Structure 1
């Protein structure tokens, strides 16, 4: 069963479920929600900080990105917590070359780059997501 909230996805990751699968399943839940109110409700509750600085920053980026991309009209307050930002750059590509680092630096959405996370231009796209 897919996690119904981002906070639930983080709880399940902490209990040992695979991070990539839980976050992907949460994005599916978000995309399949019937209303914008349901979408916002799925990101509104703050996920507990895990002590994994990358995961903590990533969930902040995910919530802000989804709220802005889907034009929900508001972003959860918790995404502004300084604990949701990395001190050092994280390039999500495996062993990125200098050229790939440069590409990711310029292609990363602001919601990720502002947290020092450098990734592809559309990091949360899913096969069943909305057309963009």
Structure 2
């Protein structure tokens, strides 16, 4: 069953579902929500903290990023907790070279970089995303 909330997606990842799959399914659900209230509701419940600090920080970054990108009016308060930040930098690109790490350092959205997560410029983009559609039609 597809996750309806970020908390459910994190639970699925901890249960063995591939991270990319669970997060893509959650983002699809989020993108298909018809109201801002429904989108916020999918972020509101705090994902339980686990033994993977990267996943804990990533959940906070995702919640803040989506809330701001979709102008939901608020970011869930749980997303800014100290457990939602990494002590050491994490470069999400597999086998990052020095050049790739430098690119990711500058390209990462603030919601990720502030948590010491360095990723691509538009993380979480999906083919059906409103954000993908809006940016491709505005250029």
Report the TM range for the smaller structure's normalisation: over 0.9
For residue 57 of structure 1, report the CA deviation from its aligned partner: 0.4
Q: Structure 2 length normalisation: TM-score?
A: 0.92
* In the alignment, structure 1 residue 126 sits paired with structure 2 residue 98: no
For residue 128 of structure 1, report the CA deviation from its aligned partner: 1.1
- Distance in 2 of aligned mates of 1:39 and 1:127: 18
- Distance in 2 of aligned mates of 1:120 and 1:15: 26
**Secondary structure, aligned partner of 1:56:** helix
For residue 118 of structure 1, report the CA deviation from its aligned partner: 0.3
**Partner of residue 23, structure 1:** 23
Q: Mind listing any 5+ residue stretches in structure 1 that lack a counterpart?
A: none
Q: Structure 1 length normalisation: TM-score?
A: 0.97
- Distance in 2 of aligned mates of 1:97 and 1:13: 27
Once the two structures are superposed, residues 10-69 of structure 1 have per-residue CA deviations (whole angstroms, 9 ceiling, x without a partner) of 111122222110011000000000100000000000000011010000010000000000
For residue 86 of structure 1, report the CA deviation from its aligned partner: 0.4
**Partner of residue 62, structure 2:** 62
**Partner of residue 53, structure 2:** 53
- Distance in 2 of aligned mates of 1:30 and 1:9: 11
- Distance in 2 of aligned mates of 1:18 and 1:102: 27
For residue 111 of structure 1, report the CA deviation from its aligned partner: 0.2
Once the two structures are superposed, residues 73-123 of structure 1 have per-residue CA deviations (whole angstroms, 9 ceiling, x without a partner) of 100000111000000000011111111111100000000000000000001
* In the alignment, structure 1 residue 117 sits paired with structure 2 residue 114: no
- Distance in 2 of aligned mates of 1:85 and 1:122: 20
Q: Mind listing any 5+ residue stretches in structure 2 that lack a counterpart?
A: none
For residue 124 of structure 1, report the CA deviation from its aligned partner: 0.8
- Distance in 1 of aligned mates of 2:19 and 2:98: 27
**Partner of residue 87, structure 1:** 87
- Distance in 2 of aligned mates of 1:2 and 1:38: 16
When the two chains are superposed, the root-mean-square deviation of aligned CA atoms in Å is 0.8
